[in-house]
Amino acid sequence: MRYPCVMDIKEFALERGISERRVRALIANGSVRATKRGRAWEIDSDFARNPVPSRRPLSAESRKALSAAIQNRSIASLEGQLRARTAKRIRALREAEDPAALLAEWWGNTAPTIIDATSSMVVRAIAGDHNSVRTQLRRRPTLYLRRPEDLASAVLSERTIRGLSVQALAVNVDLTPRQVRRIEHADPDSVGSIRRVLRALDIEATALPTPRGDR
């Protein structure tokens, strides 16, 4: 069989006998190599010769962690690999061209039985409501961060989701790593350092804690 230099999503889906939504999900999670040309995707012809990788839905534990993280906008309560994997998945959803397809695939195209803010989004993703899912994922509410612990949770979560190390964030905002760690340990040294970090992470707050040195 001969393959063209590139294939679009529709051609690839027909060739493999899968839905266009699944192709978009495979592109979103990096399983299919493709290049964006304007509003269309072009799938590498070399990849088109390879089998489509299978991808199982997330485990119940992973779905629960991801659902809670999206709803609470925090991964601070998670630990170890579960925190790292959840952060990576949220980052993938934010960056995906079609996050609804990716989310539906992670849930195995099966609607959750418990209805909350995240499960409602999953239901919309399965129904193909791409715009609604994309809008909800990109929405950034203003946070009330009067307690140092709430500030620490917000900064740690967003930094981890973005894949930034403490060192990298510190360099970006012209602070020392120790100053960033103090914020994440609920002991910020100044309002100025807090504002720099929040600005770099695109976190908007209606209230901030008063550092001990400013009391």
Q: How many CB atoms lie within 10 A of CB 139?
A: 8
Return the half-sphere exposure (C-beta side, CA atoms, 13 A cut-off) of residue 102: 23
The residue among 185, 167, 203, 175 whose CA lies nearest residue 76 is 185
Q: Say whether pLDDT at 173 is over 90.
A: yes
Confidence of residue 3 (pLDDT cuts 50, 70, 90): very low
pLDDT at 45: 59
Q: Say whether pLDDT at 206 is over 70.
A: yes
Q: Say whether pLDDT at 125 is over 60.
A: yes
Interval 159-169 mean pLDDT: 94
Q: Say whether pLDDT at 214 is over 80.
A: no
Interval 2-6 mean pLDDT: 50
Q: Say whether pLDDT at 1 is over 50.
A: no
Query: Do the bridges between strand 205-207 and strand 143-144 make them parallel or antiparallel, or are there none, so unpaired?
Result: parallel
Summarize pLDDT for 13-22 with one digit per residue, the tens: 776 667 788 7
Whole-structure pTM value: 0.73
pLDDT at 128: 83
Cβ-based burial of 120 (10 A; exposed 0-12, middle 13-18, buried ≥19): middle
Interval 123-151 mean pLDDT: 90
Interval 124-143 mean pLDDT: 87
Q: Say whether pLDDT at 61 is over 90.
A: yes
Q: Say whether pLDDT at 195 is over 70.
A: yes
Summarize pLDDT for 23-48 with one digit per residue, the tens: 888 888 777 778 888 878 888 755 55
